[in-house]
Structure 1
Amino acid sequence: MEMSAEEAQARVDLAAAFRLVAHYGWDDLIFTHLSCRVPGPEHHFLINPYDMMFEEITASSLVKIDVEGNPVGPSDHPVNPAGFTIHSAIHMSREDAMAVMHLHTPHGQAVSAMEFGLLPHTQTAMIAKHTVAYHDYEGIATDLDERERLVQDLGEKHAMILRNHGTLAVGATVGECFLRLYFLERACQAQVMMLAAGHDRLNTPPQGVEQKVAGQTPPAMVAMAAGALAWPALLRKLDRMDPSFRN
Structure 2
Amino acid sequence: MDNEQASQTAIFMRSKRAIVLTGSETEEEAKQALSQVVIIPRPPKFNNVHEQRVHMKQRLAAGFRLLAKYGWDEGVAGHATFRDPEYPDLFWVNPFGMYFGHIKASDLVLVDHEGSIVRGNRFVNKAAFVIHGSIHTARSDVVCAVHTHSMYGKTFSTFGRPLLPISQDACAFYDDHSVYDQFGGLVFDSEEGKRLVNALGPKNKALILQNHGLVTTGSSIESAFWFFVAMERCCQSQLLAEAAAVNGYRDLCVIPDETARRTWDTVGTQKAGYGQFMPMFDMIAQEQPDCLL
TM-score normalised by structure 2 residue count: 0.77
* Structure 1 contact 38–45 (Cα < 8 Å) conserved: yes
Report the Cα offset of residue 220 of structure 1: 8.6
SS in 1 for 2:92: strand
**Residue by residue, what CA displacement relative to the aligned partner does 1:102-141 show, whole Å, maximum 9, x if unpaired?**
1211211111101444233333223224211111222210
Aligned to 1:86: 131
How far apart are 1:221 and its partner, in Å?
5.5
Maintained 8 Å contact 1:111/1:117: no
The gaps in structure 2 that reach 5 residues or longer are 1-48
1:204 maps to 252
Could you tell which deviates more after superposition, 150-159 or 217-226? 217-226
Amino acid of the residue matched to residue 173 of structure 1? S
Partner of 1:174: 221
Residue in 2 aligned with 1:20?
A: 66
Q: How does 1:216-235 map to 2 (within 5 A)?
A: 216-218=263-265, 222-227=269-274, 229-235=275-281
The secondary structure found in structure 2 opposite 1:169 is strand
Matched, 1:127 2:175: no
> CA shift at 1:205, angstroms?
2.4
Partner Cα separation in structure 2 for residue 175 and residue 117 of structure 1? 23
- Quick check: 1:165 aligned with 2:165? no
CA pair 41-52 structure 1, distance change in 2 beyond 3 A: closer
Flag the 1:133–1:219 CA change in 2: closer, same or farther, 3 A: farther
The CA distance in 1 between the partners of 2:272 and 2:156, in whole Å, is 26
- How far off its partner does 1:60 sit? 0.3
**Partner of residue 55 from structure 1, selected from 101, 109, 132:** 101
In 2, Cα distance between the equivalents of 1:179 and 1:60?
Answer: 22
Letter of the 1:164 counterpart? N
Partners of 2:121 and 2:158 in 1: CA distance:
37
Matching residue's letter, 1:195 = E
**2:78 match:** 32
1:128·1:187 contact (CA, 8 Å) conserved in 2? Answer: no
Structure-2 separation of matches of 1:49 and 1:148:
23
Q: What is the one-letter code of the residue matched to 2:213?
A: G
Confirm or deny that 1:5 pairs with 2:47: no
Pick the structure with greater CA Rg: 2
1:191 aligns with 2:218: no
Per-residue CA deviations over 1:175-199 (Å, capped at 9, x if unaligned) read 0111211221111011222222246
Q: Distance between the aligned counterparts of 1:44 and 1:38, measured in 2?
A: 6
> 145, 154, 161: which one pairs with 2:200?
154
Q: Residue deviations 1:189-236, cap 9 Å, x none?
A: 112222222461554326x62441223213895322233x32332221
- Kindly indicate whether the alpha-carbon contact (under 8 Å) linking 2:138 and 2:197 is maintained by their aligned counterparts in 1: yes
Aligned partners of 1:233 and 1:117: how far apart in 2? 28
Partner of 1:109: 154
Residue 91 (structure 2) pairs with residue 45 (structure 1)? yes
Q: 1:209 and 1:72, CA in 2 relative to 1: closer, same or farther beyond 3 A?
A: same
Unpaired segments of 5 or more residues in structure 1? none
RMSD across aligned C-alpha pairs, in angstroms? 2.0
Q: How many percent of aligned residue pairs carry the same amino acid?
A: 30
SS at match of 1:28: coil
Q: How many residues align?
A: 242
Conserved in 2, the CA contact under 8 Å of 1:33 and 1:103?
Answer: yes
Query: Separation in 2 of the partners of 1:52 and 1:180?
Result: 23
- Tell me by how many angstroms 1:15 deviates: 0.3
Report the CA distance shift for 1:111/1:211 in structure 2 as closer, same or farther (over 3 A).
farther
Kept in 2: contact 1:132–1:160 (CA 8 A): yes
